[in-house]
């Protein structure tokens, strides 16, 4: 094989994944990261003995992580310790009104049956179909590069065409009447960055990932996964430079990239791969070499941004779980503020993570680490005053709903929102999760992995295939490395 000098912009999951695969293929790979630590959105905050994952906190689809490390003759257990959570998560629908999702599917069925008679058998049928879709997605769809439609057209997918036209919301409502059960089944598709009534029902495979594969936690937090992949990358001789921001892509003869200018000097390359924000990356090129216009990006449906809080609490909590969802308000009203009116919700749904409930390493003894997330519209007004208003609302609602006394036990709270996503990740409109997985933004309808203008420029990550989320980002790294191998092997 003809070894190439490859520069990778960014060090998120997709970039780290791609770097490992490319180095394994024999290329000389260098990662350039603008921030002081690696991980992209999956960085870490440490304060006063507390440890917080700044970005992703859910570890779903463990088979994808295992497959990644297996590709290098390794296992996840060589890099971090996984614990299966039970309950996987808890959902509050009102004051002291909650259900817990067990790590056992039989127990989940019983939970459904207790709420709605006959629903356990319907859930079994629903998950059986979801499992089929999961296997089709993992084996036939998500590892495809999105170069042409024939990649995903086969006898299995043809017979699933109706599931791309219908929606998750319609599918769920046909089988389940109880609103709590509907919300529980619609919840996983929020990871895909779109409303349940705008997400193809084929994506019910996320329910299989939820109920059958379970929810896991890497001891020490999701950043342990970043560190594990980084360790693997370095063992493959990948070079990583932090505090090194790319500010210009240099081209030659208008058909290829020759290198990049950064705040730490010029780097030449045979191939350039960007795992950084797709839109931002193209702004580093002359206008005529950009594939997508401002209007193109502006008309895309983006997954939400987020208002996040990282909170130190000086006592242990009893009435919450490691992952706790607060669905005590109307999601349809909240969703409209994200996708339609693009304004702050009056009473948003929110998610809370209390990792110290199951992982004593992330908080001092007898204290609790808390992470709160409110999904919000990208590019929304973001001020310290707005952040503080919502923090107070979350704490008030948390106390009222759970019966826990928290307000007087907060040691500190740090926030993260739209302006931070823009500053730290050059994120388009401050989005947190990339492009939503709607029908019109699936597979070939997403931005391309390979530039149509420059023959040695590639992209990976949540704005291209297969889509948003940590497992898809790992897969994106593999797909783009295979594509590079396809077009640049002599």
106-213 under CATH 1.10.3470, yes or no: no
- Kindly state the percentage of the chain with pLDDT values over 90: 88
For CATH 3.50.50.60, list the domain ranges present in the chain.
5-40+59-73+220-299+436-489
Which positions ≥6 away from 399 have C-beta within 8 Å? Answer: 405, 406, 407
**Above pLDDT 70, what percent of the chain?**
99
Contact yes or no for 252/258 (Cβ under 8 A): yes
What's the CA gap between 24 and 478, in Å, rounded? 11
Quote the strand ranges of 117-264, DSSP E.
216-218, 239-241, 246-252, 256-262
Helix ranges (DSSP H) in 204-317: 205-208, 223-235, 278-283, 294-298
- pLDDT grade for 489, boundaries at 50, 70 and 90: confident
Q: Mean pLDDT score of the chain, rounded to an integer?
A: 95
Give start-end residues of each CATH 1.10.405 domain in the chain: 106-213
425 neighbors 278 (Cβ within 8 angstroms):
no
Per-residue pLDDT at 415: 98
Mean pLDDT of 38-63: 97
pLDDT at residue 490 greater than cutoff 90: no
What does DSSP assign to residue 482?
H
pLDDT band for 216, please (50, 70, 90 cuts).
very high
CA nearest neighbour of 235 among 5, 16, 2, 82: 16
Phi, psi of 230 (to 5 degrees): -65, -40
Compute CA distances 351 → 90, 394, 479, whole Å.
10, 10, 31
Greatest Cα pair distance in the chain? 69
**What confidence tens digit (pLDDT) does each residue in 264-321 have?**
999 999 999 999 999 999 999 999 999 999 999 999 999 999 999 999 999 999 999 9
What value does the mean pLDDT take over residues 241-256?
Answer: 96
Q: For position 188, what pLDDT does the model report?
A: 80
Q: Which residue has the higher pLDDT, 312 or 190?
A: 312
Q: What local confidence, expressed as pLDDT, does residue 376 receive?
A: 94
Confidence of residue 1 (pLDDT cuts 50, 70, 90): low
Question: Are the CB atoms for 456 and 256 separated by under 8 Å?
Answer: yes
d(CA 230, CA 251): 29
Average pLDDT over every residue of 96-122: 97
For residue 191, pLDDT over 70 is answered with no
- Report yes or no on whether pTM surpasses 0.85: yes
CATH 3.50.50.60 holds for 5-40+59-73+220-299+436-489:
yes
Kind and range of the H or E run holding 475: helix 470-487
Give the C-alpha distances (Å, rounded to integers) separating 59 from 44, 83, 200, 211, 359.
16, 10, 23, 13, 14
pLDDT digits (tens, 9 = 90+) for 349-402: 999 999 999 999 999 999 999 999 999 999 999 999 999 999 999 999 999 999
């Amino acid at each position: 094989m003809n070894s190439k000098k490859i520069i990778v912009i960014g060090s998120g999951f997709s970039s780290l994944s791609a770097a490992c695969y490319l180095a394994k293929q024999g290329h000389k790979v260098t990662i350039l990261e603008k921030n002081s630590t690696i991980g992209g959105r999956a960085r870490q905050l440490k304060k006063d003995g507390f440890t917080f994952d700044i970005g992703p906190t859910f570890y779903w689809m463990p088979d994808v992580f295992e497959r990644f490390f297996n590709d290098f003759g390794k296992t996840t257990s060589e890099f971090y310790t996984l614990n299966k959570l039970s309950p996987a998560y808890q959902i509050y629908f009102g004051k002291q009104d909650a259900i817990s999702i067990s790590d056992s599917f039989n127990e989940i069925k019983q939970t459904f049956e207790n709420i709605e008679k006959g629903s356990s058998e319907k859930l079994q049928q629903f998950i059986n179909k979801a499992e089929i879709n999961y296997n089709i997605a993992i084996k036939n769809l998500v590892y495809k590069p999105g170069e042409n439609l024939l990649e995903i057209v086969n006898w299995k997918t043809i017979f699933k065409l109706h599931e791309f036209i219908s929606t998750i919301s319609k599918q769920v409502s046909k089988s389940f009447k109880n609103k709590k059960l509907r919300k529980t089944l619609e919840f996983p598709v929020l990871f895909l960055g779109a409303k349940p009534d705008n997400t193809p029902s084929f994506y019910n495979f996320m329910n299989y990932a939820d109920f059958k594969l379970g929810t896991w936690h890497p001891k020490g937090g999701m950043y342990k996964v970043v560190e594990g992949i980084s360790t693997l990358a370095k063992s493959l001789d990948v070079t990583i430079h932090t505090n090194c921001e790319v500010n210009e892509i240099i081209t030659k003869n208008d058909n290829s990239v020759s290198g990049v200018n950064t705040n730490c000097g010029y780097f030449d390359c045979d191939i350039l791969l960007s795992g950084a924000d797709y839109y931002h990356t193209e702004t580093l090129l002359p206008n005529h070499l950009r594939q997508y216009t401002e209007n193109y990006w502006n008309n895309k449906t983006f997954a939400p941004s987020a208002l996040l809080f990282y909170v130190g609490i000086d006592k242990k909590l009893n009435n919450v779980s490691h992952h706790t969802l607060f669905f005590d308000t109307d999601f349809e009203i909240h969703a409209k503020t994200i996708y339609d009116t693009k304004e702050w919700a009056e009473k948003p749904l929110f998610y809370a993570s209390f990792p110290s409930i199951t992982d004593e390493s992330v908080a001092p003894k007898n204290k609790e680490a808390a992470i709160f997330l409110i999904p919000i519209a990208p590019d929304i007004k973001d001020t310290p005053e707005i952040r503080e208003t919502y923090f107070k609302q979350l704490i008030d609602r948390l106390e009222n709903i759970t019966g826990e006394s928290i307000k007087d036990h907060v040691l500190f709270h740090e926030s993260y929102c739209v302006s931070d996503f823009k500053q730290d990740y050059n994120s388009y409109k401050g989005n947190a999760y990339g492009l939503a997985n709607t029908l019109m933004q699936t597979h070939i309808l997403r931005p391309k992995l390979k530039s149509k203008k420059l023959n040695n420029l590639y992209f990976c990550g949540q704005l291209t295939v297969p889509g948003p989320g940590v497992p898809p980002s790992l897969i994106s790294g593999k797909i783009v490395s295979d594509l590079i191998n396809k077009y640049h092997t002599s």
